[in-house]
Amino acid sequence: MRKGIKATLITIGSLAGVVALGLVTTTIIEANASKQEATQITDYGTRISTSAGEVNVYQQGAGSQTIVLLPGFGTASPALDFIPLIDELSATYRVIAYEPLGSGLSDDTSAPRTIENYASELHETLEELDITDPVLMGHSIAGIYALNYVNTYPGEVAAFVGIDNSVPGQPGSDEAMDLSSASTLKSLGLLRLLNGGEDPLYATGPYTESEKEQIRLLTNRNSMSQAVVSEAALLPESFATVKDQRFPAEFPVLLFVAPDPTTPIWKDLHAEQISGLDHGELIELPGEHYLHHTQSAQIAAETRSFLSTTN
């Protein structure tokens, strides 16, 4: 073996050993940190048994009408994420923050995150809570889950309120997200290093330091859960399921939309979703995708006005 090649191989071997040792170290750190952080997470809500695991729900308010909040994709702590909106709505309504499996304090699950399973588990949860005729209010991807739910269980929902919600046929809806590599990074402890620091989504706005800390802990716990990885892979199938679905003509729908310069037809897609409805309304609010972080008071006020005219 030539001396130069031998020296190169020795160098590569040494680097590989350093990398391997580093990964062992980060993996151990991840396991220990996760175990320690689990003791720091504040319990909240109520556990409901479903066919795929226990779902956590957080309740606030005692109104005669129930609003069920459904989170966007990958939200680590739906209950805490929705706190600004819950505080605004709960003066008038009974508000339920639903935490799908793999998020918040709910169990993780290996059951495929199909749109059908989502509907079934939500239905089981509402039945167990004895909730009938709720208003579904959903952010982002919850828009297609709610659309499918209304069509799967006709006559069981009073209205839908969308918060910059996903709609059938939106750009990119046929593209799957492969999160398997990110899942591996988490198990090796590298995702924690990459995600170090405060989540910019919660850096500003009406969140207390305690709430932000709990969100950080739950993000470390729930990032790349089995449920999230499965949901991401199955999103094209979920969008395909609702491709030709519409809300019933007599069904009340209120949609809040944020301007999206990257998708010029975003508002038009939402206008199309409510076209032909007896009670359909579209309101564009200034802000970004997470409108409930900055526009909760306006969303609550407009929701009260809308529901008072349709009930």
DSSP for 189-229, written as a single string: THHHHHT-S--GGGSSSS--HHHHHHHHHHHHHHTT-HHHH
Instruction: Give the pLDDT score at 198.
Output: 60
Does residue 16 sit in the same domain as residue 83?
A: no
229 shares its domain with 282: yes
Whether residues 56 and 151 fall in one domain:
yes
Mean pLDDT of 64-79: 96
Find the mean pLDDT for residues 226-239: 95
4 and 145 inside one domain: no
Residue 143 Cα to chain centre, angstroms: 11
This prediction has a pTM of 0.86
Residue 245 shares a structural domain with residue 100: yes
Could you tell me which residue, 34 or 290, shows the higher pLDDT?
A: 290
164, amino acid identity: D
Same domain, 26 and 89: no
Q: Which CATH number do you get for residue 102?
A: 3.40.50.1820
Tell me what pLDDT residue 176 has. 83
pLDDT digits over 78-95, tens only?
999 999 999 999 999 999
DSSP state letter for 223: T
Into how many domains does the chain fold? Answer: 2
Same domain, 5 and 56: no
Residues 80 and 205 in one domain: yes
Nearest partner of 103 among 234, 224, 209, judged by Cα: 224
- Does residue 180 share a domain with residue 306? yes
Select from 77, 73, 61 the least CA-distant residue to 220: 77
Per the structure, the complete domain to which residue 15 belongs is given by 1-39
**Same domain (yes/no): 16, 106:** no
Tell me, what's the pLDDT at 179?
A: 74
Query: Could you tell me if 158 and 185 lie in one domain?
Result: yes
Q: Are residues 75 and 165 in the same domain?
A: yes
Confidence class for position 146, pLDDT limits 50, 70, 90: very high
- Distance from C-alpha of 4 to C-alpha of 84, rounded to nearest angstrom: 64
Question: CA-CA distance, 187 to 191, in Å (whole number)?
Answer: 8
**Residue 23 scores a pLDDT above 90:** no
Q: 169 pLDDT exceeds 60?
A: yes
d(CA 137, CA 141) in angstroms, rounded, equals 11
Look at residues 305, 138, 199 and name the one whose alpha carbon lies nearest to residue 147: 138
Q: How confident is the model at residue 4 (pLDDT cuts 50, 70, 90)?
A: very low
pLDDT at 206: 87
